[in-house]
Structure 1
Amino acid sequence: MSVNRVMSVNQAQNEVERARLLADVHDFLSVLRGMSNELTPFDWVRHLSPDGEHQLGVQAIPVNHIIGSVDRYREFDRYYLPKERHLDERWVGIRTAQMEGKELPPIQVYKVGELYFVKDGNHRVSVARRQGQAFIDASVIELNVSVPPEAGDTLRDMIIKGEYAHFLRDTHLDVVAPHHRPIFFTAPGRYAKLIEHIQARRYYLDLKPGRERPVTWEEAVESWYRRLYSRIVENIESHGVMRRFPGRTEADLYLWVMDHRYFLSQKYGYDVGSELATVDFSKRYAPKLHKRVGQRVKLAWRGKRAQPKF
């Protein structure tokens, strides 16, 4: 073995040991913050209900958009630092080849939204990211999803986004209201309630006098979104309700306000309307100030998003 190669191998060994030490530091900090320090398992993507895939060929992809792995997600941390000593030999070999100027083959990835999951080439990604490499060549397979993931999504986030994708397919909301606001919950199982609201809206519209034909599903969806959902969201905004419920979303509050509207209407014997229901719900059920402050501090510490973006 030449002197230059020995020096390259020694340097690579020192680098991988420092990388594993830094991964240990990340693990420690993640425990303090209550956050996962692992890569996202590709298996979670199935909850997004992908409806097909297609080849994009070989292209340069951003290294910092690689967030997960098909089968090695426990062996590297979320920054793609190696966590196990048995990874050293492969890592050192790739880093040594890189320092010697050898051309490495493209990695293989799945693209989901703007993020990537490694099918083959995890060690090459780890070395590239450790060296501050901005792009890496990859053979890309893109999965078709209606609601894409974001970096930092938990399994629960993926499940909720999959439910949202089903909701969009069932309602055709993207067609009847193409510029609609994203409707996102903080807990699974709530989109079925929205379907019930749309069905009730359709029934109500069918009862209106003078109708010459039944209301179509698309008409009911459009009317529900415009006359019920959007109005409550507008009331939430105009009365500053969101800031009183940190960590919640517009959709969460919509369901609560609708339930409260029904309760008030039953109590008083007439429909109190969405605005009164919104204001009254906020006054009655908003957490106390000290709890809100504590919740905001917790969310900031954990880096959570109060209102996801799509």
Structure 2
Amino acid sequence: MSDELGSRVKDDFFHARFKAFLNGVQAALTGRPDTLLSYDEVKEKLRIGGPIYRGVQAVPIKRIVGSLNRYQQFDRAFLPKKDDTAGRWQRVDRAFYEEVSLPPVVLYKVGKVYFVVDGHHRVSVAREQGQEFIDAEVRECSTKINITPDLRPEDLEILGEKVNFLERTALDRIRPQANIKLTIPDGFSRMLEHIAVHRYFMGLDLKRDVSDAEAVAHWYEAVYLPIIRVIRESDILMDFPGKTEGDLYLWVLDHQRYLSATGHNLKPPDEAARDFVQGVEE
């Protein structure tokens, strides 16, 4: 039985490595990395806080997307990428078949995803064996944005800009229901410029100083939302797969800037959005 089990765990590791190889080939062909997220990089880009101990929990394995320090040894599906992990991986796999109880893994939770601090091989084997949950000591880190399992390494730059945007504007506190999403690099920086210009003209109209919070709230209600409502009513977003309402907001204002530069009068946000929609549909 021991020899049979030894052969079985070796075969399991071979199949896991082969699947990791295929994932790597697909990643190279598509240009989409299949790497785990680095906790340190996420911490730096998104300026997360914590961690705070939350006790032992049953964690969905599909939400474990990164690692504290071994993100180069496993791919995004937690398949082993290196042969030198074979010994430890097979020992954990053997424990699975022998129904040996292993200690909980240790995870950092950020938003809706988890990063492995300790227990990479246990997560890898559990996922390969089809487990949906794994027992884990969870330490939760605070974050201003909602991170989901589909987060990719290339998304971090834009999300880092979003964190800066929220820290500068406090929009998440002023309008908690607001959840602006962008795929355009420097988009949030451009929105900060829009708010600054909006604040300037508010001050001229009101003949008084306008606070940051007042300017942000008025920009959101009087500029951003009217454009978004037109976008939603027109269903134009369906014509731009992979783009967001926030992206189209930026395009509407780019269109306005172009018209202004060519001698046309500026229009209210909702009218500008309708002109943009009409131009796309034509």
| TM-score w.r.t. length of structure 1 | 0.82
1:24 counterpart residue number: 21
2:204 is aligned, of 189, 204, 207, to 207
AA at the equivalent of 1:217: D
Q: Deviations over 1:33-84 (max 9, x none)?
A: 4322222222331211213321112222111211111222222222112222
In 2, the alpha carbon distance for the partners of 1:152 and 1:279 equals 32
In 1, the alpha carbon distance for the partners of 2:41 and 2:142 equals 15
In 2, the alpha carbon distance for the partners of 1:267 and 1:14 equals 68
Q: Are residue 219 (structure 1) and residue 221 (structure 2) matched?
A: no
1:195 counterpart residue number: 192
| TM-score w.r.t. length of structure 2 | 0.89
Q: Please say if residues 67 and 117 of structure 2, whose CA atoms lie closer than 8 Å, have aligned partners that are also in contact.
A: yes
Q: CA RMSD in A?
A: 2.3
1:297 counterpart residue number: none
1:126 Cα offset (Å): 0.9
AA at the equivalent of 2:265: Y
Change over 3 Å in CA distance of 1:155–1:20 after alignment to 2: closer
1:7 counterpart residue number: 4
Q: Are residue 134 (structure 1) and residue 132 (structure 2) matched?
A: yes
Between 263-272 and 99-108, report the one with greater CA deviation: 263-272
Change over 3 Å in CA distance of 1:203–1:147 after alignment to 2: same
2:181 counterpart residue number: 184
Q: Are residue 244 (structure 1) and residue 239 (structure 2) matched?
A: yes
Between 87-96 and 98-107, report the one with greater CA deviation: 98-107
In 1, the alpha carbon distance for the partners of 2:86 and 2:138 equals 27
1:124 is aligned, of 113, 116, 122, to 122
How many percent identity over aligned positions?
37
1:85 is aligned, of 66, 83, 86, to 83
In 2, the alpha carbon distance for the partners of 1:208 and 1:29 equals 57
Q: Are residue 264 (structure 1) and residue 259 (structure 2) matched?
A: yes
Q: Are residue 278 (structure 1) and residue 270 (structure 2) matched?
A: no
Q: Please say if residues 51 and 108 of structure 2, whose CA atoms lie closer than 8 Å, have aligned partners that are also in contact.
A: no
Structure 1: give runs of 5+ residues left out of the alignment: 289-310
Between 213-222 and 256-265, report the one with greater CA deviation: 256-265
Matched residue count: 281
Q: Please say if residues 36 and 76 of structure 2, whose CA atoms lie closer than 8 Å, have aligned partners that are also in contact.
A: yes
1:282 Cα offset (Å): 4.4
1:276 Cα offset (Å): 4.0
Structure 2: give runs of 5+ residues left out of the alignment: none
